[in-house]
Structure 1
């Protein structure tokens, strides 16, 4: 009998295990494997494997997670795109973060979230799956005067210099100030002040920049129109500005969709910029016979004006605003896009919901999330790729089961850990297949 057992034992080649099998496993399952034996723990913890797992997730468009930033508890609700029938997981904010203000989403990249309070009293990097985090030191004393808009933020990765960066934009009087935080040197740097002919960042709505690739951040900038008496009208002009994290300079403006009706837009919060499956997504709130509609546009080929396509037109007989609408992801086999409708303002009367909207027949249906739970009141919804990229020096609750450490030191050995091989948009475009849109 023992001889039979020995004959039936199969040895799996290590290269197949590390290169073909484990990179396809989700993060939670990998954590369970780390508990099986020391060899698994060592293999899965190496920077090379973290890189391989992340690169596979990005290139195959897998391990996508939906996060809801809720008003009812201090934390995030997590849903897996591939198993929306499963109950959500509650991800509490770090216990050491004792802030009473709402914590907002500033951006995500390579599995790390950048979140904080609007005026920068708190900014942190967080891997919601590993539980590791880093508090970013504030340094915002350089601008004087009354801020006309809330600050705008962005977060991404400079692959040329192997450095994560955070951007903060403020606008006061006639000047715009841009500050960039570098993780490598752990400090903020103020760039040269810039004016855009009266155009100011549209951060009255959403404060986070739209990230394309890992290094191109985008915001909507707006300017009021004046009549012949130099009085401000109710109409605004808009443009999309692009900031390059590698050069730390403003690139050429991204073209807006042709004939998209922005002349009818009366408020800054009627225009939003988001990202859906790696594509720029523009939301425009328009007047209609039913009250208002929100048009959802997608730029299928980055930088090409003619590639803008209007995917959806969401109508309702109730008040609707673009800052409450969150296009999240596209499901190819059903030709549907998942759209969340949150509630930025507590006194708003509409219900929160998550719906699949058909691109082909324009019909909508409640998502599977509604079958397993009552969707909590949320004011932000976003997608993040699950990864093992972690903040070292802070205990992983999944590994330690204890309190997180007070030392907030991020591992800056970025060479292997953070570099994911996405130098341009073509690296992941084949897996996304936007042509069906």
Structure 2
């Protein structure tokens, strides 16, 4: 098949369209039925995701700000600027609060919390599509941790819940349950006995995702007085080897002067934020090569006196690839700042949010996405979602 200028349509569909931004492709869907059918197909979305993973610089980014009662989305560029809100997701009266579990391929997984159980929703802020997930009741235990990712082998989106069931005063059973979007069902994939004092929520309750399928949680082992990073492989449906922390962390001398205050991912690399009690500063270390302990390097160091008179640490949100600027969140004040790694300068990041929205706010980066949610519906069809103040992304 050829176009009127002799260019193979296959070349357009396989080599050109998958390289275009999601915003452009969404507009193309309204050109004609055939283009809409092609761009909406699973094969095309798979091709699109592959191209985006090979050229991450071409991926449009969104900044997600999530509070207990609503979620705002902003266009984010590499020059330390943001544009106004593009959509707002708000809790219903049935739920006490909501939280973002994680992001994968441009999708957000949201946990809707009500008393002793959780409901879940997966949504695409680019296409304004969402799908509600059947409830997982909390009979499995307590101390839940959550994660969200993509099984690229089966083209399936997965929610992971890790919960603890106390057997006696010294031992508890840690249960790993997974939800499959393709199967629309929950299943238990792992049960293991652990010490009652072992807590998987030592640093962060929601899993840290690498390569879309490797979920990480940091737990505290009291008897060893050390943290460990456990990894759950979504594609293999099992726990794998732990990820080693920087070598200096295992030095007893260092352990007396530092404290881990955050653990996450930035630019597809794991990062750790250490608070140096002696030097009174926050150091951010990144693992440049996943799984290689020697690849941990210090990305930046922010003295307390220079970091807006804070105590309690920072959360790294994003690095601007075209500059030396990073976006950081103050751990307990919920304020966000741009910090220059070279000269140490900083300025507050401004967002069009209501004053009460800054309480307990969290920040995430999310790519624009074409991923279609089977059985999903538009935001406007749900009482849980407010209309956008501006046009769709």
1:187-236: per-residue Cα shift (whole Å, max 9, x none)? 2222443234456344265321111112211111103359xxxxxxxxx4
Q: Does 1:123 align with 2:125?
A: no
Contact 2:243–2:291 under 8 Å retained in 1? yes
Q: Provide the C-alpha distance between the structure 1 equivalents of 2:69 and 2:189, rounded to a whole number of angstroms.
A: 37
Q: Which runs of 5+ in 1 are unaligned?
A: 1-8, 227-235, 407-437
Q: Which residue of 2 aligns with 1:389?
A: 371
Alignment partner of 2:269 out of 279, 284, 288: 279
Alignment partner of 2:344 out of 363, 366, 386: 363
Q: CA RMSD in A?
A: 3.2
Classify the secondary structure of the residue corresponding to 1:88: strand
Alignment partner of 2:76 out of 60, 76, 80: 80
Cα–Cα, structure 1 residues 339 and 305, in superposed 2: closer, same or farther, change >3 Å? same
Q: Which residue of 2 aligns with 1:59?
A: 54
Q: Provide the C-alpha distance between the structure 2 equivalents of 1:381 and 1:138, rounded to a whole number of angstroms.
A: 25
Alignment partner of 2:159 out of 155, 166, 171: 166
Q: Which residue of 2 aligns with 1:420?
A: none
Contact 2:214–2:234 under 8 Å retained in 1? yes
Deviation at 1:265, TM superposition (A): 5.1
Residue pairs, 1:29-428, within 5 angstroms: 29-61=24-56, 62-71=58-67, 74-82=70-78, 85=81, 87-93=83-89, 98-117=93-112, 120-144=117-141, 147=142, 149=143, 151-173=144-166, 174-175=171-172, 176-197=174-195, 200-203=198-201, 205-224=203-222, 236-260=225-249, 261-264=254-257, 270-288=260-278, 292-317=280-305, 318-322=309-313, 324-331=314-321, 333-334=322-323, 336=324, 338-342=326-330, 348=333, 352-358=335-341, 361=342, 363-366=344-347, 370=350, 377=358, 379-396=361-378, 403-404=381-382
Cα–Cα, structure 1 residues 70 and 384, in superposed 2: closer, same or farther, change >3 Å? closer
Classify the secondary structure of the residue corresponding to 1:53: helix
Cα–Cα, structure 1 residues 84 and 53, in superposed 2: closer, same or farther, change >3 Å? farther
Q: Provide the C-alpha distance between the structure 1 equivalents of 2:248 and 2:121, rounded to a whole number of angstroms.
A: 40
Q: Provide the C-alpha distance between the structure 2 equivalents of 1:282 and 1:63, rounded to a whole number of angstroms.
A: 25
Q: Provide the C-alpha distance between the structure 1 equivalents of 2:353 and 2:138, rounded to a whole number of angstroms.
A: 43
Classify the secondary structure of the residue corresponding to 2:228: strand
Cα–Cα, structure 1 residues 198 and 115, in superposed 2: closer, same or farther, change >3 Å? same
Bigger fraction of residues in strand: 2
